Structure 1
């Protein structure tokens, strides 16, 4: 009886029409396949999902007129721009907004849109997430989560999220207030709650770790039940990972996902970023849509193998990454996630660099004395950048000159850098912090 009472999370999925028990069983059957069986499974599933949408989805029929099912490269790439039209026009036959899971992307890519998943596809999404968290003995029905996420500020949205948090066995800390006063309250909650793990946006969890460092507090000593910290949605830099491990006294696990797809990659227990090969098919393409070999950097393009309600077939997610040379069809490894394709620095000479390059260069200089807690970089003109930062005291002219010199050394000369000290950085509605933004057209 006790066991059934505790399985609130599974129960909440079931009452919403998601067959989680069947999905868990299906996932385990997929994972049990041999390497050769798995390769056959992926090829069959790719053809099956394309065939389905060519037959039942008018939106996809228009896109896929020249598809040859035996030639994978004949399958067109879908971008977010394709999807910025009413959802009803993109749904397959028999699906309406009433019988699917509907949500909206965060818009962190600059191209937000509403999407749908059929209920079986979404059940498999949860089976995948539950499986990966299980690698670290986290059980969503029993393990208590300390959640660092955004929360709607309107009354209806706020209480809806709090109710979902209750059924999901978690307590939410809002990421919109990262002041010391807010973190005092956060710490007090950790002292009185038996949390099993931390999950949420990288930047806000890093700010909490910095607060603990200033106070010389090890979180594990305050909340001994904690077992892991899982960060998501924003880049995790090596020095931030070290800070989290040091101040929390926990393993720090990197998650990469997209709400419109699934969990994409999850750090396994041997410290590899293992891709989800069971419900997704992940490719790395160059700018001419040619598939790149393992070890080469390019655009991340993903096929959702089960979503019948809405096609996500060869979908360009807007990120740049690289697969490890050790990858196999069954166990692909994400060697590197470089950033978003729309976060590219374009310099006066014509040279291009990933926006996070700039951020990474600056980060090593700007944060080493503990004065600056957070900062973002924006490209305002071809030769001009603005760094907005939150700090105890204003950056000295000497520090600003050091940063300018480092940027010039890594990128190129004749670049103007302006600094603006702010009380608080602007976050998206979901609470994410966009670390680099280009305003060039």
Structure 2
């Protein structure tokens, strides 16, 4: 088969089924084009994208400024490895550290790599700065987390699908209940705890938003016990929740109406996904000097991490977030979306709850977790021109690109309402 040969949707699906590992269960739609909030399948059908590549495409598909940066840099230099300096990495590091309010940045590629990097950083800091005995450092995580798929990260998971037959697992990881400040207080009595790794909102768990004061109280507990507070904002960061960061711990937030708590600044910030606008795999770990200085030559690295192409793309992607006030837009439209979903809940028994922040939201379907109802609704939404995906059985996550406008959002609300009501019949 010629590489450029046009495929039908079924032909593309058959190819993946035949030649690809079956590690995903996608909706049966084959996409070939994207622009802004829209995607098109290979037959030319147009859809609203209400997943945004798991919040990687916050700036919309193929944003012209980001694609322009990609093309311009691709003509100059794409990769040097870190064996040599390049003329883009320093610029990106300066730009991003000032953008998020940290001293240092360690560039990687994927979110999982960034989480692994943060765990290594925390352990080394624990030994060299906190004085934890050799090989005794522990990382605290929360149940129902999603930090990635590597062995160390699934060692922190309680999802049987993620962990079955992948052991033995990495030691030194303790799991506690999410949104349970007493559980955190108890575990921090252990003097060998180096860090608390937490998602400000648990996206994969069904957009589970913790109590209003949980993050602040957890941060304060960590400070009192000399434990690093590490925020995994791979999915919640870059304006998705209506603020530049869900932890809202920096004073350079482009959202001037931010009502978050500015005194919660993570010791270690983990970013990925939308830091490049979904154009290239780019991730980063940010921290101040007293933490990052434990990393020295040979301790950690990546051939592609910090490559010139990614640096150019990431700077452009972050500029778009600020210039187009995407955090503010996500806050405004997210509030409108939840209000409209509350109206829908009053009109149907099929949806029992809506929750979220900004444009990271989910509805809970009034059925059991092992039912196919949420999947079937997503299939119906697809037929009506909107793409979304279930998570945890009976929950449907809604996370459109942040460049969406009010007219488009209300059109999507109409599609969702129509589909739910028709499905209920």
TM-score class, shorter-chain normalisation, is: 0.3 to 0.5
Structure number with the bigger relative contact order (C-alpha 8 A, sep ≥ 6) is: 2
Question: What TM-score does the superposition give when structure 1 sets the normalisation length?
Answer: 0.35
Structure with the larger strand share: 1
Question: What TM-score does the superposition give when structure 2 sets the normalisation length?
Answer: 0.36
In our comparison, the structure showing a higher alpha carbon Rg is 1
